[in-house]
Amino acid sequence: MLIKKSPEVPYSEITKKTDYLSRRSFLTAAGIAGAGLAASKVLPEMLSPELAFASTKLNFKKSDLSTHGEDITPEKDTTTYNNFYEFGTDKDDPSKNAGKFRTSPWSVSIEGLCDKPQKLDVDSVVKLSSNGLEERVYRMRCVEGWSMIIPWIGIPLSAVIKAAQPKPKAKYVAFETIWDPKQMPGQQRQVLDWPYVEGLRMDEAMNQLTILAVGMYGESLPNQDGAPIRLVVPWKYGFKGIKSIVKIKFVEKEPPTTWNRMAPEEYGFYSNVNPNVDHPRWSQATERRIGEFRRRKTLMFNGYADFVASMYNGMDLKKYY
């Protein structure tokens, strides 16, 4: 199995690493850090159940496709400052509200225009890759102007596509997030048209950089970052990385996507990182790396032009933004 939990430790008692560290900082500030042993005994009781969830070490290989020469963003930032509207619209809402989200059992439906539709658990999806799990360190840029460097763990989406054997008419791949308002408080409000949906053109989905991630920082995905399985497309803005996927469907026509449907004048279907196409309300020419104060120039295709630019030859990238 991909994910194993220690039989001696109940799921509800496993403390997330960043929650432990934040509480240790609190104890230090309160002047009682010296009581380390005593603190270690009371921390599980202090931990809010909303913040407690399991984190499991994963076995993986490091990929040559990783971005090199850039500092990885601290895990505490990527797990406490992110967008996941299903758990709230503020950046810290996902980390506050996703702790009780149940990610097991879980299944992903592979359907639509393909010869081998199937319904798979996450382990079975991972096993479709002959190379097993890989770590890919990618630049990730949000349309709001901030960026991170994240070590994802996953498999090429192309492995899933090949196993499903799409029909010649399948030109696009559509994705859908779980719809569960009882577990996802953000879905109880009509801030978006639920469930969240996304899509890629077939050649984008088959590109070697496109992955389905099940982990980050050597461990399984935290709930607030899209557990148990999410899309990662590093040359596109972050909102293309649909989280908590339950459906992958092969279709003939361009599928609807959540943000394009909500605000088509601001969010296009392709959503490639392009510093020459401004968002209607701000410039995309620069970005701020989380943890830095200075702004840096935004790279075309987020710096992955060598891998992806050829897919858009002849396209007007201002029209098809």
Tokens of 287: 């970005």
The pLDDT, as a whole number, for residue 55 is 75
**Between helices 17-29 and 36-46, what is the axis angle to 10°?**
120
Q: Which residue, chain included where needed, has tokens 């299903």?
A: 86
In this structure, are residues 315 and 272 in contact, taking their beta carbons and an 8 Å threshold? Answer: no
In this prediction the pTM is: 0.84
Peptide bond before residue 151 is cis, with ω within 30 degrees of 0: no
The pLDDT, as a whole number, for residue 11 is 26
Classify domain 58-312 at the CATH topology level. Sulfite Oxidase; Chain A, domain 2 (3.90.420)
Q: pLDDT (tens digit, 9 = 90+) per residue, 180-218?
A: 999 999 999 999 999 999 999 999 999 999 999 999 999
Q: 50: Cβ–Cβ under 8 A, 6 or more apart, which residues?
A: 96, 97, 99, 100
3-state per-residue secondary structure call for 247-265: EEEEECCCCCCHHHHHCCC
The pLDDT, as a whole number, for residue 121 is 98
Q: How many CB atoms lie within 10 A of CB 311?
A: 16
Q: Are strands 197-201 and 146-156 parallel, antiparallel or unpaired?
A: unpaired
Q: 65: Cβ–Cβ under 8 A, 6 or more apart, which residues?
A: 134, 136, 208, 209
Q: Where are the domains of the chain?
A: 58-312
Give per-10-residue mean pLDDT for the chain (321 aa).
Answer: 37 36 35 34 34 74 97 97 97 97 97 98 98 98 97 98 98 98 97 98 98 98 98 98 98 98 96 96 97 96 98 97 96
Phi, psi dihedral angles at 303 (to 5 degrees): 90, 5
CA-to-CA separations, 25 to 55, 78, 230, 260, 298, in angstroms, rounded: 21, 19, 31, 41, 35
Q: Are strands 108-112 and 245-251 parallel, antiparallel or unpaired?
A: parallel
